[in-house]
């Protein structure tokens, strides 16, 4: 019997990339590849790159170079770049980084096995010439679904039914019915992301994502539901809905309020204990969506709102909408329905034309917003964006100074917000149990970005359990919580129920 081909996937960037990696893993395993965790044990190391900002692009290049260093020292014979950076730069990346044996775009995903085999055999698959993927679908959202079959949409599944081999490995299945890609989970986490849509129709002046991710297109509700059911069968307890803009979900399916009806259905899936929605646009928030997010059992009252700034002049230059007072009114509306709702956001400082008064306005918003988590980034030009052409750029020293100042303020504010939660009861999804303790996350904490909860006790607790606890302390943005009496032993949270 021939030796089985081995492949390792290294994923950088956001949760959307994680979903794409699991699609690639599913396709490869279904075609006979053996998945391994360590690149040094793989014939081919596939690096799923991020192309969003300079720091992420540098991390992607470093990961490719690190994988390349394994060649000649272990099993690794080829290194291949996929993902956003590969899609965005194509031939340019291949020429600038000869250490990569292949640079594959989204159009290559459906044939990923053949592409890797060609490269492994010493052949060459020419890197693509990048194109504006916004032009691949009709301008009118209502006309996009009919054209979607002709466009590669990672995470959406092929247009034709997937005929799965009869001898699929255990744990590998069509994740979302007949239109779904094969998906293979790459870790044992009780949390998994589910792609709700792809692309973005917004034209923020600082963002290049729509050009290489394309126009906004929703997945069908049945696909999202079937994938969630499959994930629940794999032991997943929390799903996080991801896309470039979840508030637009359904607009190309004829119902902009489709998310409001889908969320209760997802929450009713057997085995799912929590549904979380990420990536919400403040300008597109609507009363009905707020109501569903704050009142539906098992749907986390969690608001990942993309504010970016609060000074009106800066927001207009960003091609965005809103101001400090309107944003605070939105938060007041949310908290009037769910006082303990979790809210996080990201902000850009040092944007071209930003004044000291604009920074003060941002400080006013941050101080009044009581956010649970804050990400702060210093502005830098992204090629191909409108903002890169602006004349009123700030000196790098000023951007660095403002970044440090707002970051310090943000750290103080999120620590204060964590302290506000002392004495509250929280539902903690346990994610790790080891010699360092029992750690998990409450409803207001998304994976990777928003801190975690340390349980003061947890004998017999296993990963995937949902535990009721009382917050008794803080460590910066993190919480320390004591399990409530009986919460570990009650029928609702038994060892069997946690499986």
Could you report the per-residue pLDDT of 212-237, keeping only the tens digit for each? 999 999 999 999 999 999 999 999 99
Residue 401, token pair as written in the block: 């100074």
User: pLDDT tens digit string along 310-328?
Assistant: 999 999 999 999 999 999 9
N-term to C-term CA, the chain: 37
Structure tokens at 164: 């799965």
Q: Residue 276 has which token pair?
A: 């979380």
User: Percentage helix, strand, coil, to 5, in the chain?
Assistant: 35, 20, 45
Tell me, what's the pLDDT at 407?
A: 98
pLDDT at 437 over 60: yes
Percent of the chain beyond pLDDT 90?
A: 73
> Residues 6 or more apart from 136 whose CB is under 8 A from it?
147, 150, 151, 214, 215
Higher pLDDT, 272 or 14: 272
Which of the residue ranges 105-114, 386-395, 476-485, 487-496 would you say has the lowest mean pLDDT?
A: 487-496
Average pLDDT of the chain to the nearest whole number: 89
3-state class (DSSP) for residue 236: coil
Q: Which two tokens stand for residue 261?
A: 């009806």
- Is 0.85 surpassed by the pTM of this model? yes
Using 50, 70 and 90 to split pLDDT, how confident is the model at 309? Answer: very high
pLDDT at 472 over 80: yes
Q: Which of 128-137, 204-213, 399-408 is modeled with the greatest confidence?
A: 399-408
As a whole number of Å, the CA-based R_g of the chain is 23
CB 179 within 8 A of CB 221: no
Q: In order of start, what are the domains of the chain with their CATH numbers?
A: 6-132 (3.40.50.12160), 181-420 (3.80.30.20), 424-483 (2.40.50.140)
pLDDT confidence bin for 168, thresholds 50/70/90: low
- Give the pLDDT score at 25: 92
Higher-confidence position of 326 and 110: 326
Q: What is the DSSP letter of 174?
A: E
Q: By C-alpha distance, which of 171, 229, 177 is closest to 30? A: 171
Contact 235, 266 (CB under 8 A): no
Enumerate the β-bridge partners of residue 50: none
Higher pLDDT, 62 or 43: 43
3-state secondary structure of 148: helix
pLDDT of residue 159: 38
Say which residue, 277 or 167, is predicted with more confidence: 277
Would the pLDDT of 108 be above 70? yes
pLDDT for 54 beyond 80: no
Residue 183 vs residue 348, higher pLDDT: 348
What backbone torsions phi and psi does residue 363 show, to the nearest 5 degrees? -60, -40
pLDDT of residue 499 exceeding 50, the answer is: no
Predicted confidence band of residue 69 (pLDDT cuts 50, 70, 90): confident
According to the model, what pLDDT value does residue 162 have?
44
Do residues 467 and 493 lie in contact, with contact meaning Cβ atoms separated by under 8 Å?
yes
Task: Please give the pLDDT value at position 157.
Answer: 63
Q: Pseudo-torsion of CA 362, 368, 372, 376, nearest 10°?
A: 10
Q: Which residues are annotated as a binding site for [4Fe-4S] cluster?
A: 14, 50, 84, 200, 204, 207
Binding residues: 14, 50, 84, 200, 204, 207
């Amino acid at each position: 019997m021939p030796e089985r081909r081995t492949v390792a996937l290294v994923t950088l960037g956001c949760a959307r990339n994680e979903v794409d990696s699991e699609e690639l893993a599913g396709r490869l395993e279904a075609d006979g590849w053996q998945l391994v965790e360590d690149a040094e044990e793989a014939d081919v190391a596939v690096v799923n790159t991020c192309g969003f900002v300079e720091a992420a692009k540098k991390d992607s290049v470093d990961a490719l170079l690190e994988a390349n260093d394994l060649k000649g020292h272990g099993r690794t014979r080829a290194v291949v770049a996929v993902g956003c950076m590969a899609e965005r730069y194509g031939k340019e990346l291949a020429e600038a980084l000869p250490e990569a044996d292949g640079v594959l775009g989204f159009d290559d995903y459906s044939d990923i096995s053949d592409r890797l085999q060609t490269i492994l055999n010493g052949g060459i698959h020419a890197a693509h010439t990048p194109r504006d993927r916004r032009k691949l679908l009709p301008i009118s959202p209502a006309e996009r679904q009919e054209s979607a079959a002709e466009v590669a949409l990672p995470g959406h599944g092929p247009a034709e039914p997937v005929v799965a081999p009869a001898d699929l490995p255990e744990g590998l299945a069509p994740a979302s019915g007949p239109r779904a890609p094969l998906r293979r989970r790459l870790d044992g986490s009780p949390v998994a992301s589910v792609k709700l849509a792809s692309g973005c129709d917004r034209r923020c002046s600082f963002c290049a994502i729509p050009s290489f991710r394309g126009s906004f297109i929703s997945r069908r509700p049945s696909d999202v539901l079937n994938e969630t059911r499959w994930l629940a069968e794999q032991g997943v307890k929390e799903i996080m809905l991801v896309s470039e803009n979840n508030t637009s979900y359904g607009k190309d399916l004829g119902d902009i309020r489709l998310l409001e009806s889908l969320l209760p259905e997802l929450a009713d899936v057997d085995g799912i204990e929590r549904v979380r929605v990420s990536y919400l646009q403040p300008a597109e928030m609507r009363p009905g969506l707020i109501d569903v997010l704050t009142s539906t059992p098992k749907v986390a009252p969690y608001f990942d709102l993309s504010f970016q700034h609060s000074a009106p002049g800066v927001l207009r230059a960003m091609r965005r909408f809103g101001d400090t007072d309107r944003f605070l009114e939105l938060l007041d509306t949310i908290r009037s329905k769910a006082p303990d709702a979790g809210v996080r956001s990201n902000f850009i400082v040092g944007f071209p034309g930003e004044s000291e008064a604009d920074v003060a306005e941002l400080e006013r918003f941050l101080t009044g917003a009581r956010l649970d988590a804050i990400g702060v980034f210093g502005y830098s030009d992204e090629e191909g964006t409108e903002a890169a052409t602006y004349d009123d750029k700030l000196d790098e020293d000023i951007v660095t100074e403002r970044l440090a100042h707002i970051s310090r303020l943000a750290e103080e504010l999120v620590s204060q917000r964590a302290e506000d939660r002392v004495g509250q009861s929280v539902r903690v999804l346990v994610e790790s149990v080891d010699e360092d303790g029992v750690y998990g996350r409450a409803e207001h904490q998304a994976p990777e970005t928003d801190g975690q909860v340390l349980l003061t006790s947890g004998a017999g607790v296993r990963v995937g359990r949902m535990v009721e606890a009382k917050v008794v302390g803080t460590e910066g943005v993190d919480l320390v919580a004591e399990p409530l009496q009986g919460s570990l032993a009650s029928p609702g949270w038994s060892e069997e129920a946690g499986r």
